[in-house]
A and B are shown apart, each in its own frame.
Chain A
Amino acid sequence: GAVVSQHPSWVICKSGTSVKIECRSLDFQATTMFWYRQFPKQSLMLMATSNEGSKATYEQGVEKDKFLINHASLTLSTLTVTSAHPEDSSFYICSVGGGGSYNEQFFGPGTRLTVL
């Protein structure tokens, strides 16, 4: 299956600053990538669908101006959390769609964001 990496694996930032998280598909050209967020003891919640070369599609309740997504190439998507606040502290996970023979999704290792 597809190998997906994320960088950084964890980040701590001050309230009001912006943080960029990178998601790379290492061995598969991903037309579509997905971004999820996971709060403690909860399941993964889909934030947005990122399509290469076009605007991302955001789920209801996710602020597109706060969570900027760029999918400029078939191997890289970035999520920028702008003006981060403590309530944005979460585990952010990206995934690649269609990387397997039956279109299984493959996930990155996640990025732990802590906003002080």
Chain B
Amino acid sequence: DAKTTQPPSMDCAEGRAANLPCNHSTISGNEYVYWYRQIHSQGPQYIIHGLKNNETNEMASLIITEDRKSSTLILPHATLRDTAVYYCIVRTPNQAGTALIFGKGTTLSVSS
């Protein structure tokens, strides 16, 4: 799986958009970008994934650059409950039998 690089921490004001970057310059053609988050003392939660097109669901939007070397997870209106560690992971989707490997992620702190 390709390596990813994320800033260790970010702050965001409640109600504002939180934009979390991820660099994955060695991503290969068949690898997807997955985002998970972990709220304190809970198990990680799947957020969204994408290959090359921008994606949106009820939780977030994922913007992937045209060269696919980086992406941004966008929480459009951050709330206090979005305070968590966010993990960007690159892998192929046909890997149900292999575990996710977590880096250090980005700790997002949302404040009022």
Contacts and interface: CB of A to CB of B under 8 A. Distances in A.
A43 B102 contact: yes
Interface of B is mostly: loop
Interface string A66-103: 00000000000000000000000001010101101011
Nearest to A4: B43
A47 to B, nearest CB: 9
A105 B105 CA distance: 17
B30 interface: no
Contact of B99 (A43, A105, A108): A105
A102 B49 contact: yes
Nearest to A59: B99
Contact of A34 (B49, B93, B99): B99
B112 interface: no
B45 interface: yes
B97 A32 contact: yes
Interface in B7-49: 32, 34, 38, 41-46, 49
A103 B91 CA distance: 10
B100 interface: yes
A50 B46 CA distance: 21
B76 interface: no
A78 B104 CA distance: 27
Interface string B67-105: 000000000000000000101000001111111111111
Contact of A104 (B46, B97, B99): B46
A64 interface: no
Contacts of B45: 107
Interface of B: 32, 34, 38, 41-46, 49, 85, 87, 93-105
5 closest A-B pairs by beta carbon, nearest first, are A98-B96, A107-B43, A34-B99, A103-B96, A102-B93
Interface of A: 1, 4, 6, 31-32, 34, 36, 43-46, 49, 51, 91, 93, 95, 97-98, 100, 102-110, 112
7 contacts: A32-B96, A46-B99, A93-B43, A98-B97, A102-B49, A107-B44, A107-B45
